[in-house]
Amino acid sequence: MTQALGRSARKRQTILSAGRDLFLSNGYQGTSVDQIAASAEVSKQTVYKHFGDKHELLLAIVNHALDSTVTPFLKRIRALADTAHLEADLTALAADYLRAVLQEPVVQLRRLVVGEANRVPELAQLYYDQAPARTLAAFAECFSVLHDRGLLRVPEPAHCKLLPTRRGHAIRHQRVPMQRIQRLVRIALAREIRCFGLC
């Protein structure tokens, strides 16, 4: 029984990977279930069994990709609330965050979401709920703790823009050298710290 579940999980992952590659290469409209099944080396029926239809597969792909990218940062943001070295740890977190959102697969995924937002409006909502909304909520909770600890002056954490999720997107989706990422982080944090202040 366990072995059968293992095979099922592997097939699901293979379909997710095949669908992601095809959607990113050809777009949603340009990709068929036949192509996905052929690429995953499964039957169309197997694709439908796991995901229902192409629409549900697209949502599952985006949800899976966002969860694997965002979840590790949510853990780090929560850990930041207990830091004894706020400026250094926040700077490191911000630099790693920018590197993550500027990875080519993440950039391609964002383009896919934007490109299909009119045809699949719930896709854009899923993206917002799973990425920006979760990240901002985690930062608000973290900054509230840091404010209470007297390490950061943020009387209204929910409205804080110390590390807004759009900032990384504003670099025009191009490849950004490590040195520039670090420089952007230092500039952004220095500007915001002047407003909110490290205590």
Q: What pLDDT does 92 receive? A: 87
Q: What pLDDT does 185 receive? A: 56
Decide if pLDDT at 82 tops 80. yes
Using an 8 Å Cβ cutoff, are 144 and 178 in contact?
no
Q: Which of 168, 172, 191, 162 is nearest to 181 (CA)?
A: 168
CA distance linking residue 178 with residue 20, whole number of Å: 27
Q: Which of 124, 136, 196 is nearest to 164 (CA)?
A: 136
Greater confidence (50 vs 176) lies with 50
Residues in the chain: 199
Q: Summarize pLDDT for 48-60 with one digit per residue, the tens.
A: 999 999 999 999 9
Using an 8 Å Cβ cutoff, are 43 and 11 in contact?
no
Cβ partners under 8 Å of residue 110, min gap 6: 127, 169, 173
Cβ partners under 8 Å of residue 47, min gap 6: 15, 33, 36, 37, 40, 57
Res. 136 pLDDT band, cuts 50 70 90: confident
CA distance linking residue 23 with residue 49, whole number of Å: 19
Decide if pLDDT at 182 tops 80. no
For the chain, domains (ranges, CATH) are 1-52 (1.10.10.60), 54-196 (1.10.357.10)
CA distance linking residue 84 with residue 87, whole number of Å: 9
Using an 8 Å Cβ cutoff, are 31 and 23 in contact?
yes
Say if pTM beats, i.e. exceeds, 0.85: no
State the alpha helices, DSSP H only, in 81-170: 86-101, 104-116, 121-130, 132-148, 165-169
CA distance linking residue 15 with residue 27, whole number of Å: 16
